[in-house]
Each structure stands twice: as C-alpha cells, then as structure tokens.
C-alpha cells in the first residue's frame, strides 16, 4: 500500500455516504452549472515516518497528509453551514483500512469565489499506516 491509499479511502467514503451535494474530485472535470452548492476534494501528502525499531509498528511507514474540502454555496451563511456539515461528516473517522482522519478545521472566512458562489476551505489532518 502507498500514500495514495489514504486519498482513495477518504474519496470512497465520500462516494459511499455523502448525499448532501455533488462532489468535485481533484483532476476530474466538473461542471457546476445548475448546481446550488457542492464540495471539492483534494489530498496533500505531507510527511513519511519509518518505524523500523518500534515493537508494534516494526517495518511500517506512517504517512501524514492533509485532506482539503472546499465548500461552495450561493451565499456566506450557506457556505458556513456546508462547512459545518463536512466537519461533522468526516471528523475523527477511521475510513478504509488504516486511514485515520482527525477533527476538521475551517480555514479563514467564506470568500467570494468570483463565480457567483462563496468558497470556504476545511482541512483535516490524516494518518495512514502501510
């Protein structure tokens, strides 16, 4: 397994259980015309740690990353509400096999995304053991 597994696990969790809005995936074309709100997902790898001498994790690698969810809605209150829903949905979850998602944190305020929508970023720290 590799660091890509954490991204796959979290995206699959969204695919299987998120029903509130359409989802835009990183690197996949998405047309938001006719949509009132949506989320966009992105995974950013950060660091790898090898555990060669640990009795419990001997020979394993711990990958750290940040999962970013961009929330889009037609006005500021709806954008904040969507961000709150995403935080409740994903915070403190174990998804897939070995992907641990920490509590989500909103980053800044909802801003005008310059396309008649407002955008707010929510980030989640992620650990994955291979």
HSE toward the beta carbon, residue 66, CA cutoff 13 A: 11
The one-character DSSP state at 57 is S
Residue 113 pLDDT: 80
What is the pLDDT, as a whole number, of residue 53? 55
Which pairing describes strands 99-101 and 23-25: parallel, antiparallel, or unpaired?
A: unpaired
pLDDT tens per residue across all 130 residues of the chain:
566 888 888 999 999 999 999 999 988 999 988 899 999 999 988 876 655 555 565 666 777 889 999 999 999 999 999 999 999 999 888 887 778 888 888 887 887 887 789 999 999 988 887 7
- Enclosing domain of residue 74: 4-129
For 60, half-sphere exposure in the C-beta direction (CA atoms, 13 angstrom radius) is 12
- Predicted local distance difference test score (pLDDT) of residue 4: 80
Give long-range contacts, CB 8 A cutoff, 24+ apart: 12-19. 12/95, 12/96, 13/90, 13/93, 13/95, 13/96, 14/41, 17/89, 18/89
The CATH number assigned to the domain holding 11 equals 3.30.2000.30
- Taking each helix axis as running N to C, give the angle between helix 4-17 and helix 76-90, from 0 to 180 degrees, rounded to the nearest 10: 110
The tally of domains found in the chain comes to 1
Q: What is the pLDDT of residue 18?
A: 96
Measured distance CA(24)–CA(52) in Å, rounded: 38
pLDDT attached to residue 75: 92
Give the integer Cα–Cα distance in Å for 56 and 69: 32
């Amino acid at each position: 397994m590799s660091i890509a597994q954490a991204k796959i696990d979290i995206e699959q969790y969204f695919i299987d259980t998120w029903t509130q809005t359409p989802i835009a995936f990183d690197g996949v074309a998405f047309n938001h015309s006719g949509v009132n709100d949506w989320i966009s997902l992105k995974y950013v790898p950060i660091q790898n740690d090898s555990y060669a001498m640990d009795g419990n994790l001997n020979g394993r690698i711990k990958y750290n990353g940040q999962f970013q969810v961009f929330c889009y809605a037609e006005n500021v209150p709806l954008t904040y509400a969507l961000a709150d829903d995403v935080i409740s949905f994903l915070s403190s979850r174990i998804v897939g096999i070995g992907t641990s998602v920490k509590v989500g944190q909103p980053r800044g305020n909802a801003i005008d995304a310059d396309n008649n929508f407002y955008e707010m970023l929510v980030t989640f720290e992620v650990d994955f053991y291979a």
